[in-house]
């Protein structure tokens, strides 16, 4: 199996999303998969201009030449694409959304009805048939991920694939105060990666364990309190510096 992880965090390899992605990559590798990770924040990828040259003039090829050419070549060669994004304003980051929109260059303008009766465009080139989502968000409530999960599931189907698992770990604000709380989840996500590489799926027990948040809402509030104290001190220091400069 060949997999590509496309990370849309503005913090790239330094974020919590990257830690989740690295754990998954380790597990996939352990299971015998070939894995590449691309960080959208480090790439030069312009938004889709909706010129539709890809659909009407040069089937399968975007009119823009930038790092999306590299992303497309990875997508064309992979069996699994892992969309990795923090929740930004209730959904995927703008960095990742740009990549997703640009994938439209793989679609033909023609229409067909799929097995469920939904209208789709046929593809010119094959997108990975297996799709996964990795995400984190500041707040502790798993419901925060609902819009992003819906987007990734629909998008997978629109591109002729299927979302086989979502690993969404809430409470990154507290995780950053005490990174050790994430360790059990990182081990579970690595295990899930190994299962995907070996069996093409995540075992239900592993998925259920990953879905349990890493701490209770009460523990989150305790750690978040420490974060708020840290923020107050930082703001006070910055205000003091400004006052001295004036």
Ligand X SMILES: Cc1cc2nc3c(=O)[nH]c(=O)nc-3n(C[C@H](O)[C@H](O)[C@H](O)COP(=O)(O)O)c2cc1C
Cα radius of gyration (the chain): 20
Main-chain dihedrals φ then ψ at residue 84, nearest 5 degrees: -120, 115
Planar angle of CA 166, 170, 175, nearest 5 degrees:
125
Q: Assess 86 for contact with ligand X (CB under 6 A).
A: yes
Q: Assess 87 for contact with ligand X (CB under 6 A).
A: yes
Total residues contacting ligand X (rule CB under 6 A)? Answer: 17
Within positions 184 to 243, which residues make up the interface with ligand X, using CB under 6 A?
none
Residues in CB range of 136: below 8 A, 6 or more apart: 15, 16, 17, 20, 86, 87, 168, 169, 170, 171, 172, 175
Residue nearer to ligand X on the CB measure, 87 or 156: 87
Q: Considering only the stretches 56-64, 138-146, 192-200, 209-217, report the one whose residues sit in contact with ligand X under the rule CB under 6 A.
A: 138-146
* One character per residue 155-184, x = contact with ligand X (rule: CB under 6 A): -----------------x------------
Report the alpha-carbon distance of residue 154 to residue 135 in Å, rounded: 17
Q: Assess 103 for contact with ligand X (CB under 6 A).
A: no
| Site residues for ligand X per CB under 6 A | 9, 11, 15-18, 86-90, 136-139, 144, 172
């Amino acid at each position: 199996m060949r997999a590509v992880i496309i990370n849309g965090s503005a913090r790239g390899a330094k974020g919590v999303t990257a830690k989740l992605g690295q754990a998954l990559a380790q597990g996939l590798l352990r299971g015998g998969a070939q894995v590449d990770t691309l960080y959208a924040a480090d790439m030069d990828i312009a938004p889709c201009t909706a010129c539709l040259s890809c659909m009407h003039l040069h089937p399968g090829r975007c009119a823009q030449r930038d790092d999306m050419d590299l992303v497309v070549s990875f997508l064309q060669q992979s069996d699994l694409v892992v969309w990795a994004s923090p929740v930004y304003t209730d959904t995927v980051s703008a960095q990742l959304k740009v990549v997703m929109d640009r994938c439209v260059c793989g679609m033909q303008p023609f229409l067909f009805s799929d097995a469920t009766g939904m209208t789709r465009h046929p593809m010119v080139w094959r997108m990975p048939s297996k799709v996964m989502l990795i995400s984190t968000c500041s707040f502790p409530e798993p419901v925060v991920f609902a819009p992003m999960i819906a987007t990734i599931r629909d998008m997978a189907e629109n591109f002729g694939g299927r979302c086989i698992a979502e690993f969404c770990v809430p409470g990154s604000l507290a995780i950053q105060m005490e990174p050790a709380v994430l360790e059990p989840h990182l081990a579970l996500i690595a295990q899930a990666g190994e299962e995907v590489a070996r069996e093409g799926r995540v075992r239900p027990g592993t998925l259920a364990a990953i879905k349990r948040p890493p701490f209770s809402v009460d523990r989150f509030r305790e750690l978040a309190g420490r974060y708020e104290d840290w923020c107050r001190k930082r703001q006070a220091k910055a205000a003091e510096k400004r006052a001295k400069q004036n």
